[in-house]
């Protein structure tokens, strides 16, 4: 059962902010009947932002619609952005730049200790090459100097550079997930179901901040649980979300949303480190691939999937009728992690 793509109208204050069309919206809200039966818990759903339509999809497409509109309005001809070597954000940025005719530079840090040849050559790296992006793979200890050199070189070429932070995570990019929350509210209303619980992978902060801000703007009572997959200290993620909510409240006063909103983080599924697959995540990926024919990645949504399964087994979602897993994409990186399987 999928939601109808017709009839959704964004809040007027949000619709007034410039964006470029990059994705296919609204993304489907899909029931997971076999997983629901297997776990004997509440009704499970997946919000398919892996089907957002740009270069195998993912959550960054929503953010890039706002960010690249801003870049174009400011006269930029070159985009510089950042991430790890297998960054899903970098891949979607490269694809968006190809679509819009913008030069793209990806500064990718070697922050993940995954010593397999496929990691540096396959998955998102391969896609970035196909999109014609300029790829700079940099060791962490040389990153700042090389970044400065690249920006200086682009300035010397009279390039009009627009920088996008890792994950597209700033106040403007976070609006993409205000839009997502509004979509979910509309889809649930159309399907006559309650919007009780959202669970998702949380890393660079803007996806969770956008969902929280959107819930505040719409007066939604949905519980939003972010599964920390990036920060060794989860308090860092909480602080980043708090800061972003404050910036959004100040920057978008027409939303009439305060920055004093609940932030819920779970750190139990982080595993060994960012970018390192966990056994629970790998098991969850294989389980849902076999039960529902869906693909998840071992860095982001796979760990959120493991959290969903475990939380249901623990009975922590038993008070809810419906639980929605936000699939933020990432299956493009599976071939880079073939050795994990």
Per residue in 97-134, pLDDT tens?
999 999 999 999 999 999 999 999 999 999 999 999 99
Give residue-wise pLDDT tens across range 191-223.
999 999 999 999 999 999 999 999 999 999 999
Give residue-wise pLDDT tens across range 290-309.
999 999 999 999 999 999 99
Helix axis angle for 234-251 and 206-218, nearest 10°, is 50
What is the residue-averaged pLDDT of the chain? 96
Is pLDDT of 237 > 60?
yes
Residue-level pLDDT at 3: 39
Any idea what DSSP says for residue 28?
A: P
3-state secondary structure of 84: strand
Token representation of residue 178: 């205000």
Whether the Cβ atoms of residue 112 and residue 297 lie closer than 8 Å to each other: no
Is pLDDT of 164 > 80?
yes
Domains of the chain: 12-59+170-340 (3.40.50.1100), 60-168 (3.40.50.1100)
Burial class (CB in 10 A: 0-12, 13-18, 19+), 143: middle
Strands laid side by side in the 43-48 sheet: 29-31, 43-48, 322-327, 197-202, 223-228, 264-266
β-strand pairing of 43-48 with 29-31: antiparallel
CA distance 44 to 197: 10
Q: What percent of the chain has pLDDT over 70?
A: 98
Name which of 51, 40, 39 is nearest 2 in CA terms.
51
pLDDT band of 4, cuts 50, 70, 90? very low
3-state secondary structure of 315: coil
**Span 16-32, average pLDDT:** 97
Q: Which sequence positions are flagged as catalytic?
A: 87
Q: Is the dihedral of CA 62, 65, 71, 73 positive or negative?
A: negative
Q: What is the pTM of this model?
A: 0.96
């Amino acid at each position: 059962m999928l939601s109808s793509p017709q009839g959704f109208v964004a809040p007027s204050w949000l619709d007034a902010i410039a964006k470029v069309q990059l994705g296919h919206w609204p993304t489907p809200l899909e029931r997971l009947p076999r997983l629901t039966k297997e776990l004997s818990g509440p009704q499970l759903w997946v919000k398919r932002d892996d089907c957002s339509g740009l270069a195998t999809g993912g959550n960054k497409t929503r953010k890039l619609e706002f960010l690249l509109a801003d870049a174009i309005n400011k006269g930029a001809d070159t985009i510089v952005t950042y991430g790890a070597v297998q960054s899903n954000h970098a891949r979607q940025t490269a694809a968006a730049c190809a679509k819009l005719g913008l030069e793209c530079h990806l500064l990718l840090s070697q922050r993940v200790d995954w010593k397999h040849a496929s990691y540096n050559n396959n998955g998102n790296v391969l896609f970035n090459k196909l999109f014609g992006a300029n790829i700079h793979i940099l060791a962490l200890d040389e990153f700042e100097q090389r970044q400065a050199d690249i920006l200086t070189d682009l300035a010397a070429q009279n390039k009009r550079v627009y920088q996008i932070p890792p994950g597209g995570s700033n106040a403007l990019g976070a609006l993409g997930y205000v839009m997502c929350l509004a979509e979910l509210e509309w889809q649930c209303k159309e399907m006559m179901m309650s919007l009780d619980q959202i669970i998702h992978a949380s890393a660079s902060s803007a996806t969770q901040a956008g969902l929280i801000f959107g819930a505040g703007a719409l007066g939604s009572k949905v519980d939003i649980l972010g599964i920390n997959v990036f920060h060794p200290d989860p308090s860092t993620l909480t602080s980043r979300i708090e800061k972003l909510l404050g910036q959004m409240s100040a920057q978008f006063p027409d939303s009439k949303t305060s920055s004093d909103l609940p932030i819920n983080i779970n750190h139990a599924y982080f595993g060994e480190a960012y970018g390192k697959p966990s056994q629970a995540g790998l098991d969850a990926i294989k389980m849902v691939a076999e039960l529902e024919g869906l693909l998840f990645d071992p860095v982001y949504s796979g760990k959120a999937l493991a959290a969903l399964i475990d939380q249901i087994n623990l009975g922590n979602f038993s008070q809810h009728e419906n639980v929605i897993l936000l699939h933020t994409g990432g299956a493009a990186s599976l071939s880079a992690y073939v050795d994990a399987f």
